């Protein structure tokens, strides 16, 4: 016998327009949803309690929605599913109703989400969501995605994960390990042993492999390790130098990284795990070796990186063809630019900018146009894009010697949230995030 639940969500869209202006950073907020959507949830008590809380938390935490207590209606849930009995919301101008019918079919859940304009009673369309009953949390995230996309126009991201550096212990002797966590803070797991100082993970876009660096306590040099998440096989790049800032190519077949000279300067190289060969990328990046952070464009044709080409200049952002050629500087503002990373859709580059003693999380086009800040903190590091190219995560500090946390900022600059990183109910610092793609069920 099929089990069935009905969930109705009425959203009152109170969207306004706003702009932010800071002359030094030339902020120009990208157009998009500019207001908070009050969201009424009805019939959730008939559904799985844990899954219901996941959906509520997803939609509330992103900043776009304010969860409002449901006001009783004389209409049955089945009437709402068919778009009947909407008169109770007539006074709510601009409201939207999303009705979700979830059924159990074999080992899978199937949900049909139907959307209505409450005032006009107009049917706005429906979305089908499927998922394995073995992973109810993932199914709940996918259901959240369907509501998020319909009401904001953006692809959902609630089903994704982050790799990051887990830090704990005293400031003078911190333990650093690689961890993975759902973006709602659930299912944290540690991936590296406590004996190793592992940090700055970078994953493939699907999350099937992750690179990170480990510091040799005797020599002080860093080596790049590669972990296969499925087989747990671990490999080490053969280069014997001090290696940092690894990043996978879009195909996952190559790894670009920075090599530090004894003087602290760095240059880039590309490693092919299949052939075991390494080739120079033929670019000198100067100082600030840890902030070079090379990143491929989504099609793999270009590489963006930070470089300080002389001691008299500040670090700037450059792009260069992956096949070779001359680098082109795209950053034009005052200040120092670090840690550039290309968005999955290829339209944006996120980076960290230091200007007049302040750190900013900035985005710009690949040509360097439309530069703007979307967040600011005492210290920011290692930005990473969500798969939908609309959110950027990075690590931040609120003051000197303060703990590191992971921030998620919307590209508009209007919405931000902090990821709670904990294991077994015990909180720890989160640093160096790397966002990986969709989870499969």
Domains assigned to the chain: 37-152 (3.40.50.10070), 161-436 (2.120.10.30)
Q: Are 172 and 155 in contact (CB under 8 A)?
A: no
Higher per-residue pLDDT: 155 or 120:
155
Per-residue pLDDT, 97? 77
How far apart CA 51 and CA 72 sit, in angstroms, is: 22
Q: Are 156 and 388 in contact (CB under 8 A)?
A: yes
Which residues are paired to 110 by β-bridges? 103, 130
Per-residue pLDDT, 296? 97
Nearest Cα to 61, choosing from 220, 182, 210, 205?
A: 182
Q: What is the mean predicted confidence (pLDDT) over 3-8?
A: 42
Q: Compute, in degrees rounded to 10, the torsion defined by CA atoms 52, 57, 63, 68.
A: 50
Determine how β-strand 391-397 pairs with β-strand 405-410: antiparallel
Residue 127, Cβ neighbours under 10 Å: how many?
18
How far apart CA 323 and CA 279 sit, in angstroms, is: 11
Residue 248, Cβ neighbours under 10 Å: how many?
22
Q: Are 118 and 89 in contact (CB under 8 A)?
A: yes
- Quick: pLDDT tens for 290-341: 568 899 999 999 999 998 876 667 889 999 999 888 889 999 988 999 999 9
Determine how β-strand 37-42 pairs with β-strand 65-68: parallel
Lowest mean pLDDT among 3-12, 155-164, 197-206, 426-435: 3-12
Give me the residue label for tokens 């969709």. 438
Phi then psi for 344, rounded to 5 degrees?
Answer: -60, -30
Angle between helices 136-152 and 49-61 (to 10 degrees): 40
Residue 321's SS3 state is strand
The answer, yes or no, to whether residue 8 has pLDDT greater than 50, is no
Which residues 6+ apart lie within 8 Å of 24 measured at CB? 333, 334, 355, 356
Predicted TM-score of the model (pTM): 0.88
Q: Are 227 and 193 in contact (CB under 8 A)?
A: no
Nearest Cα to 92, choosing from 79, 73, 76, 112?
A: 73
- Quick: pLDDT tens for 48-107: 778 888 998 999 999 998 777 666 565 666 776 676 666 665 545 557 778 888 888 999
């Amino acid at each position: 016998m099929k089990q069935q639940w009905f969930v109705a969500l009425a959203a009152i869209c109170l969207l306004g327009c706003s702009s932010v202006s800071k002359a030094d950073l030339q902020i120009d907020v990208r157009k998009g949803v500019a207001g908070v959507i009050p969201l009424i949830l009805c019939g959730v008590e008939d559904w799985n309690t844990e899954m219901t809380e996941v959906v509520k938390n997803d939609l509330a935490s992103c900043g776009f929605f304010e969860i409002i207590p449901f006001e009783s209606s004389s209409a049955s849930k089945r009437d709402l599913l068919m778009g009947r009995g909407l008169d109770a919301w007539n006074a709510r101008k601009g409201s939207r109703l999303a009705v979700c019918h979830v059924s159990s079919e074999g080992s899978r859940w199937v949900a049909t989400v139907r959307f209505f304009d409450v005032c006009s009673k107009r049917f706005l369309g429906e979305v089908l969501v499927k998922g394995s009953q073995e992973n109810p949390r993932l199914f709940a995230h996918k259901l959240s995605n369907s509501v998020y996309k319909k009401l904001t126009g953006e692809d959902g991201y609630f089903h994704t994960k982050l790799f990051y550096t887990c830090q704990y212990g005293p400031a003078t002797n911190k333990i650093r390990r690689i961890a993975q966590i759902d973006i709602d803070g659930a299912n944290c797991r540690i991936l590296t042993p406590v004996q190793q100082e592992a940090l700055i993970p970078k994953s493939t876009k699907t999350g099937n492999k992750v690179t990170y660096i480990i510091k040799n306590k005797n020599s002080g040099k860093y080596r790049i390790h590669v972990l296969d998440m499925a087989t747990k096989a671990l490999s080490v790049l053969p280069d014997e130098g001090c290696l940092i800032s690894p990043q996978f190519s879009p195909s996952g077949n190559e790894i670009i990284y920075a090599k530090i000279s004894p003087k602290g300067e760095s240059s880039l190289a590309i490693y092919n795990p299949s052939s075991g060969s390494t080739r120079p990328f033929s670019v000198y990046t100067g100082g600030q070796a840890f902030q070079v952070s090379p990143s491929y464009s989504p099609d793999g044709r270009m590489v963006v990186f930070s470089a300080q080409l002389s001691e008299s200049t500040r670090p700037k952002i450059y792009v260069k063809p992956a096949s070779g050629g001359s680098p082109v500087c795209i950053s034009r503002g005052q200040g120092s630019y670090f840690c550039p990373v290309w968005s999955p859709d290829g339209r944006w580059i996120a980076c960290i900018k230091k200007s007049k003693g302040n750190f900013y999380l900035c985005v710009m086009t690949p040509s360097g146009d439309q530069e703007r800040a979307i967040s600011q903190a005492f210290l920011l590091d290692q930005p990473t894009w969500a798969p939908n190219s609309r959110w950027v995560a990075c690590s931040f500090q609120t003051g000197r010697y303060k703990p590191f946390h992971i921030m998620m900022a919307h590209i508009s600059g209007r919405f931000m949230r902090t990821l709670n990183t904990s294991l077994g109910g015990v909180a720890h610092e989160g640093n160096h995030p790397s966002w990986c793609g969709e989870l499969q069920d």
